[in-house]
Structure 1
Amino acid sequence: MRDQIVYIMRKIILSILLGVIVIACKANKTQLEREHAGESKENPVLQDLASLIQLGTEETTVNLSDYFIEGSKAKIIRLPEGLKLIKNDSGIITFSGKMNNSIDYVSVEFDQQHYDIPVRNTSRIPYTFSFTPDKKYKKLQVKGSFNGWDVNANPLVLKDGKYQFTVMLNPGNYQYCFVEGDKEFIDPTNPKKVSNGVGGYNSTFSVGDLDAIKPFITTVGNQKKWKIIADQEVNFLAFYNNQFISLSKGKELQGKVPQEAEEATRSFIRVYAYNNKSGVANDILIPLHKGIPIEKVDELPRTDKRKYIMYSLMIDRFKDADPSNNFQVGEPEVKPEADFQGGDLKGITEKVKEGFFTNLGVNTIWLSPVVQNPDEGYGLLDTDYIKTKFSGYHGYWPVSSSKIDPRFGTEEDFKELIEEAHKRNINILVDYVANHVHLNHPVLKEHPDWITKAKLPDGTDNIRKFDAQRFTTWFDKHIPSLDFSKPEVVDQMTDSAVYWFKNYEIDGFRHDATKHIQNEFWRTLTKKLKEQVILPENRSIYQIGETYGSHEMVNSYVNNGMLDAQFEFSLYHHLSNSVTNPKISMKDLKIALEENLFYYGSHNIMGTISGNHDKIRITSMGDGSFADGEDTHKTAWIKKTLNKNPLGFKKTGIVMAFNLTAPGVPVIYQGDEFGMPGADDPDNRRMMEFDIANGSDQRPWVISERKELLEKTKKLTHLRENNMALIYGDTKILYADQNVLVFMRHYMDNTVITALNAGESTEKVSITLPQTKSYRKLKTNFGQGFKINENQLELILKGNSFEILTDNKK
């Protein structure tokens, strides 16, 4: 009762401030401030900004160990009105109810300090799925993004001539398909469908009002005098690092910071806003240096994760600089495309030294796995068009979790690569494989019982059942999945992961097959990294996962105690489909971007990809290289896809423009920067080309288009790496129709407007801009026509083109 009275009084006092963000200087600094100030961490507590808690429909469970290393010692001292604590089991807390406000916070006491964690009410509403069958089915099942693609989640029962059930869902678009036996098919009664990314389609349905206008807040001014304004009256909640400091109501929040911020080399202001009529607004994130908002990108360190521009490469397929370590499997059953081709660590170091990555404008390199793989061929693809085994050139079949594959180089080679990259302010991420190991891995020889069962109870093979047997399925017979329900497996594999940070100055991991590993592994790994690396070495580490699934599933791994981010495959599929398929509207991309911001936050660091080693090349999608429904896996083996026409390059440019100006971490897959073509694996994994003029395709128009796209990509990365609005800015979607999408990024007095036209014809678009600043200094970067009259913007966009408007600071 006493704690509640203290908080009520505190709230009254703070409300008197009428929106001024201010708080008395505290004697104890938070962990975040100690980290940026480089001070000791004798009592490690909440590391980094607290991730937002999203309430469930009825009950919500929060593991306080995600926020504090010793979560069992944390004490809840305040819950928002409307919530009730019903269970606290050694720091795993469960509460029920619904908050009276859309946004609030939970207060936690740890080590005699208090921390405030923002909380958001559920937005789920009931949706009734209904299907009137067109024929009689023996056993019909349904799976989709609404149920984690689990055919058993929502059993279909035929009643009164319909299959029907009700689920609670957030507003948005959802994909689904029906399943009968081993056959999957779209809804024959629903004309709405989208590509499923593997040569087929999924049906779709929408939930809620997707055109509803929510409040929008933004920063205006400069580091000397700034404020936050809203386009309608809202309730503002402001936080300094991990402490609530202000609650106010209105359309403005004056920009002042706590006095203690003046002592911190890096701290943050976070602001949330909502009203009961329109819902929750975007959130604001402002990095501070000595209490002053940062306005110049060069004030951000190399390790600032929101500053990342990532380049994804396959070591074996990038650059061969040391022929002495070229050892192919050489078995006749292994086709050349499936064997080692000579790329190595020295080749990457060579390109680092030459300035390849710096000139391209990327500051982070994601390496495919460096660990040792088998010397023999495994697996068997036996079809009417190809019969082959495979080598482990890709790195995903580890026979060791700590040794570098000698075909890639030595420990010294790897250390030199990291050192040379860091000299040039480039981060190095390593692909880590924990889910499975090769049959020849020593851990299986010592502990053969550490793997999941190869057979299911019905006698079928537990192979590639990625959704139905999510935590146990094997990817293939020679790479059994580890059983992470066993604590000893978790302990062993997390130690192996930490080894890479203790022995090499790497900056993070890309985690393979994330959703197939239980949460305990991720929590244990991140806790060990905090205890053994992050806190004692004052070191920044970025962990990004690979998960195909619903937004809820993907986001369940992203928090302070698990991963920093995941790759946003859903956004990529909407982007690639909307840009390359004229039947799919750019409004779908608009909705996908809104869903991204809703689930992962306005300032998320999810990976937004141009493609990867498992997908058709975006340039080949764009130029119509493949017929509708074509088996691109077959195509990848029977012919080498070539650039078909200039349209593919234009489409790729639009994808690059979106990724390099939208929120998140942009990821360029090797060769996409100039439009390498390709179908599925192995056609999308060709050896990298560096000399366009003397490359594999000598057609003059191809050389010209590749050079033009490369220059556009470099210009886009340059805009990204030098503009705070594209790193810490808020995002507002300004316009969307069938062919055009326009959105704005804004930070203080800095504005960037991205306009994309995926249609064939020139489009003229008129937009009313927010009345927050003067737009007279906007300039074009890619030569498109535009006019500005106060806050009225008129754009003229050529077909299949883009434009980025920025402030002219001269």
Structure 2
Amino acid sequence: MKSDNAFLTHGRDESSRLNIGDIIMHTCSTFALILIILFLLFIGFSAYAQADADHLLAEIPTQTLYLGEKLMIDLKNYGIKYENQVKIPSHDRLTLDFNSESLVLTVSSTQARSHALEAGLYRFTIDYRASSAARWSEATVVVRVRPIQRITFRYFSEDSDKRVSIAGNFNNWSYADHVCEYNKAEKSYEITVGMKPGRYEYKVVVDGEWIMDPANPDTVSNGMGGFNSAMVVEGKTNRPGMFIKQWAEKTDDGDIKLTFRFLSGGKGINPQKIIVMTGNRQLPSDRVQYFPDKKWVSATLPVSLWESERVHGKIRLIGEDTEGFPTKENITLCLNNIPRGKMTGDFRDWYDAILYSLMVDRFANGDSTNNNPIQDHELADQVNFGGGDLDGIAQQVEKGYFERLGVTAIWLSPINQAPDKAYYEFSEPRRKYSGYHGYWPVHPTRIEPRFGGENALKSLVDKAHARGMSVMMDFVSNHVHQEHPWFQEHPEWFGTLELPDGRKNLRLFDEHRLTTWFDEFLPSFDFPASPAAVDSMTDNALWWLENFQLDAFRHDAVKHVPNLFWRELTEKIKARFPKQHIYQIGETYGSHKLISSYINPYQLDAQFDFNLLHTIYSIFLSDGVGFDLLDVALEESLEAYGAIHLMGNLIGNHDKTRFITLIEKTIPPDENEKEWGWDHPVSVTDATSYHKLSTVIALIMTIPGVPVIYYGDEIGMPGAGDPDNRRMMRFEDDELSLGEKRHFDRISQLCHIRRERPALRYGDFLTLHADSLTYAYARVHFDETLLIVLNLNPKSKNLSIPISQLAGDRDPLKFVDLITDETLGSHDGIFSLDIPGYGYRILSVE
């Protein structure tokens, strides 16, 4: 048969020999070719259009609905816009109410139907399309339904004319949400609250006075010089079952097959429903298999998927057990269908990060020519500019300090220009302060001259990037200083200081959360009433990213800024940097619900887990509070933020007393920790305090989330409350004690272990043992398993750990200590080892 080209050549040379059959054949061949091309273009366009539609809705994570409550899903947080079309099909067990004006979907139980909703695992779909799209796309949403406990609080009093309320981390410490009613018969103020299983801190507010609950003897330190009442709400008797990663392999067809092992939460409990999600799509049932004899689950990811459908995010595996309770969710992070840290090596992402938080003014003085403290005889040295600058940080980058420590990202305190004079704080004792810390910006784009200038920042970022490190800037969006040109030129952008009732809108954090001022000279934006302010401030954030190649933002006072601001900022960042992950982490104190309301694809990546931090305080600083309580708090965080997440795990920051000083207990419990630091310089007097501090750092280095080191904690720097916790950093050998040097070596070792072991960053979390003073847990990531054991006994402790769930059918197991290289073995499902006093061990299962 001749080719088309040969036929055409023949036609030119021998036109007289063409006949009608040749013409018809040629015409048909050409027409068929055109049809084929058009068909392929249509298929390609359809696939593109479908992929574009699928990308319209970002992944909606597994949702949790508590019986008797409502679940609110704001689709704006996942990319849906008002011009898009959304349809919510009905569901036989859930009531789904979609508000097209707010784009919020409300999910609740359907009690009126013939079968009331029970605890378990449910699914529903969302149909959506772009306004220009012809086809509808479908997203599957998974909802785990859990029971809730009814808890009654009582405050006894003969006086029936008081105003009594309960404020705690379950209601964002709001004294207005849970007001008690007086029971004359019992002579008590009472309120019954629906509470999820977990650990809670609270206080009773009586006529405006915040007191401990007289009926509850359990108390915990709040980490800021005071105490809270504490309680634990119990859940189901058995722990939820879970799936752990076993292995990943390529099939003969080139697919990726992941195998998981089910660990039962109780005797005879097995999974009866299994759901595997990739994005908003459920993996087809023929791709998921369960092997009941071995309790294995396999999920096969087809290599033939369109590139747009390949898994670049998370694989979520969740089930329902035979008692009707949802299992814990397993999350596997993937890139191009391949599990991270497995098969193709590491992928550097923010999941791999170790953050180092520093105050620019207090870290290192690299250029003494810009030293210019404020001249004011009422201004103490502790709160004046201390000489630290960007050049000093850059010099430590070049000296390899951060690499020796093992951190991967530097978090800079705010660097905007600050006022050139000191101001009185409005609260007693009304001391004068300067803006050395950076949180009083007087200009949107100028760098504080005492810190250097634009070239100094660019040089620091370039040097950090050259060494494989990221740079995060602390961005202040809630407020400005009164000298800022935006406040001078656009006062209508800001909330008012004077309230109609004559009070000043100062630190009314609950009553006027989105407009309250932090001080009389720090006006807060009123973003809901000022679209121009939202636009200007979000554009300002982009300006810093574009001009200095920054990699991330830490956002100040997040809960005092409305969600609409964060959505606009994140949407602008996604549009401007479509191929770069600009990590955003925020600061919010409050409930898991409040904190997580800001964490989604169109707001922030994460926030700092202050609830977990406060539990850590309780464990390491209070007598009678054990690791079993910490285990409860960890489980709460994993359910609230995901089994693998980007939340910041910290043990302190620039607002809190140094952890080692809290360990030493040198500040009397009835003293204000901030005030104590002014007149009572604290130091480290007990060498064992370094070991306790390294043990708590070992904890945050080995649990899910991003560990954060506050500058100086790597040497055990002491300090009472602000400003004593912001001392000048020390580096040189002659400035450090032997205890500080040894502590640095231990923290450096922990950082490098985390960097080298994927299981610590991507692995499943499995509790093996938790009592008052010892804690053992595993991190499992396919063929890598690590065992971590912590001991708060002052002396060495021999601990026997049941490892049958860890071993499966592999008993006995061999363990290798990653710090000492010692090899140990298990016997009959038990692993026994010695743990040093106030110490830890990290072992690899070989």
Normalized against structure 1, the TM-score is what? 0.89
- Offset, 1:214: 0.7
Structure 2: distance between partners of 1:297 and 1:414: 38
Per-residue CA deviations over 1:252-288 (Å, capped at 9, x if unaligned) read: 2224212236966945432222225262223223334
1:718 aligns with 2:764: no
Instruction: Report the CA distance between 1:324 and its aligned residue.
Output: 1.6
> 1:187 Cα deviation (Å)?
0.8
- Give the 5 Å matches for 1:151-170: 151-159=175-183, 160=185, 161-170=187-196
Aligned partner (choices 500, 503, 523) of residue 460 of structure 1: 503
Matching residue's letter, 1:277:
E
8 Å contact from structure 2 (residues 170, 590) kept in 1: no
CA-CA distance at 1:785 after TM superposition: 9.3
Q: CA deviation at 1:626?
A: 2.1
Aligned pair in 2 of structure 1 residues 429, 124: CA closer, same or farther (>3 Å)? farther
1:602 aligned residue: 643
Q: What is the letter of the counterpart of residue 671 of structure 1?
A: G
Change (3 A) 1:428 1:106: farther
Paired residue for 2:128?
109
After superposition, the Cα gap between the structure-2 partners of 1:311 and 1:175, relative to the gap in structure 1 and judged at 3 Å, is: same
Whole-angstrom CA distance in 1 between matches of 2:258 and 2:97: 42
Select 2:93's aligned residue among 51, 63, 82: 82
Q: Percent identity?
A: 33
Q: Which moved more, 1:63-72 or 1:161-170?
A: 63-72
Distance verdict in 2 for CA 1:500–1:356, change over 3 Å: same
1:259 counterpart SS class: coil
Pick from 654, 673, 677 the counterpart of residue 613 of structure 1. Answer: 654
2:816: which partner in 1?
779
- Using the TM superposition, name which of 192-201 and 574-583 deviates more: 574-583
User: How far apart are the structure 1 equivalents of 2:715 and 2:813?
Assistant: 34
Asked if 1:541 corresponds to 2:541, the answer is: no
Mapped contact 2:54–2:137 kept (Cα < 8 A):
no
* Cα offsets for 1:371-414 (capped at 9, x unmatched): 11111111237867xx7311111000011122211111111221
1:300-350 deviation digits (Å, cap 9, x = unpaired)? 443x12111110001111111111221211211211110111111111111
1:145 aligned to 2:169?
Answer: yes
1:13-71 Cα deviation digits (max 9, x unpaired): xxxxxxxxxxxx9984799xx9xxxxxx8996345x44333446444332222112636
Give yes or no for contact 1:54–1:122 (8 Å, CA) kept in 2. Answer: yes
Task: Look up the SS of the partner of 2:146 in the other structure.
Answer: coil
Report what 2:238 is aligned to. 212
Deviation of the 1:734 alpha carbon: 1.2
* Structure 1 residue aligned with 2:153: 130
Structure 2 equivalent of residue 507 of structure 1: 551
CA deviations on 1:70-129 (whole Å, 9 max, x unpaired) are 364153465665233333315713234337742535344335473535432343514232
Alignment match, 1:496: 540
2:609 paired residue number: 568
* CA shift in 2, pair 1:415/1:214, >3 Å: same
Name the aligned partner's letter for residue 181 of structure 2: V
Are the equivalent residues in 2 in contact too, given 1:471–1:518 (CA < 8 A)? yes
Query: Does 2:390 align with 1:373?
Result: no
2:341 corresponds, among 278, 295, 308, to 295
1:801 aligns with 2:846: no
1:414 alignment partner, SS class = helix
Q: What residue number does 2:259 align with?
A: 227
SS of residue in 2 equivalent to 1:732? strand
Partner of 2:316: 270
Q: Which residue of 1 aligns with 2:204?
A: 178
Higher relative contact order (CA 8 A, sep 6+): 1
User: Could you tell which deviates more after superposition, 359-368 or 444-453?
Assistant: 444-453
The reply to whether residue 753 of structure 1 matches residue 787 of structure 2 is yes
Q: Equivalent residue of 2:635, what SS?
A: helix
Structure 1 pair 498–124 and aligned structure 2 pair: CA distance change class (3 A): farther
Greater shift, 209-218 or 523-532, is seen at: 209-218
After superposition, residues 572-591 of structure 1 pair within 5 angstroms as: 572-591=613-632
Q: Partner residue of 1:406?
A: 449
Q: Give the corresponding residue for 1:259.
A: 303
Q: 1:325 to 1:380 in 2, by over 3 A?
A: same
The answer to whether the 8 Å contact 1:776/1:790 transfers is no
Please name the residue that 2:734 is paired with. Answer: 694
Counterparts of 2:65 and 2:301, CA distance in 1: 29
1:678 aligns with 2:678: no
Correspondence for 1:196: 222
Letter paired with 1:432: F
Q: Against the structure 1 CA distance between its residues 193 and 211, is the aligned structure 2 distance closer, same or farther, given a 3 Å change threshold?
A: farther
Output the CA distance in 1 between the equivalents of 2:767 and 2:774: 11
Alignment partner, residue 41 of structure 2:
none
Q: Which residue of 1 aligns with 2:7?
A: none
Summarize the Cα distance change of 1:491–1:51 in structure 2 as closer, same or farther, 3 Å threshold. Answer: farther
2:708 equivalent in structure 1: 667
Contact 1:621/1:648, CA 8 A, preserved across alignment: no
Q: In 2, distance between residues paired with 1:752 and 1:599?
A: 24
2:447 corresponds to 1:418: no
Shift of 1:806: 1.6
Check conservation: 1:269, 1:285, Cα contact below 8 A: yes
Q: 2:741 aligns with which of 700, 707, 716?
A: 707
| Mapped contact 1:151–1:468 kept (Cα < 8 A) | no
Query: Contact between 2:815 and 2:825, CA under 8 Å: does it hold in 1?
Result: no
* Deviation (angstroms), 1:472: 2.1
Give the structure 1 partner of residue 565 of structure 2.
Answer: 521
**Which of these residues, 82, 100, 103, is aligned with residue 92 of structure 1?**
103
Tell me the CA shift for residue 662 of structure 1. Answer: 0.3
What is the SS of the residue equivalent to 2:304? helix
Residue 54 of structure 2 corresponds to residue 51 of structure 1 = no
Q: How does 1:303-322 map to 2 (within 5 A)?
A: 304-322=349-367
In 2: Cα distance, 1:728 partner to 1:539 partner = 21
1:551 paired to 2:588: no
Provide the residue aligned with 1:729 in structure 2. Answer: 763
The number of aligned residues is 762
8 Å Cα contact 2:157-2:189 kept in structure 1? no
Larger radius of gyration: 2
C-alpha displacement of 1:190:
1.0
SS of structure 2 residue aligned to 1:121: strand
Q: Which amino acid aligns with 1:196?
A: N
Partner of 1:10: none
Partner of 1:65: 76
Q: Supply the distance in 1 between the matched residues of 2:124 and 2:346 (Cα, whole angstroms).
A: 29
Q: Is the 8 A contact 1:83 1:95 kept in 2?
A: no
Contact 2:216 2:229 in 1 (8 A): yes
CA distance in 2, matches of 1:117, 1:325: 58
In 2, are the aligned partners of 1:59 and 1:94 still within 8 Å (CA)? Answer: no
Q: Deviations over 1:665-712 (max 9, x none)?
A: 000000101211111111110011112x311x6xxxxx2221221111
Q: Counterpart of 1:240?
A: 278
User: Quick one: structure 1 residues 87 and 287, their matched pair in 2 at CA, closer, same or farther if it must change by over 3 Å?
Assistant: closer
Distance (Å, rounded) in 2 between the aligned partners of 1:297 and 1:720: 19
- Determine the C-alpha separation between the residues in 1 that align with 2:829 and 2:148: 36
Counterpart of 2:39? none
Structure 1: segments with no counterpart, 5+ residues: 1-24, 35-40, 698-702
Separation in 1, partners of 2:345, 2:311: 11
Query: Are the equivalent residues in 1 in contact too, given 2:151–2:195 (CA < 8 A)?
Result: no
8 Å CA contact 1:587–1:736 kept in 2: the answer is yes
Gapped runs of 5+ residues in structure 2? 1-43, 110-116, 251-256, 265-269
CA distance in 1, matches of 2:406, 2:770: 29
Which deviates more from structure 2 when the two are superposed, residues 646-655 or residues 115-124?
A: 115-124
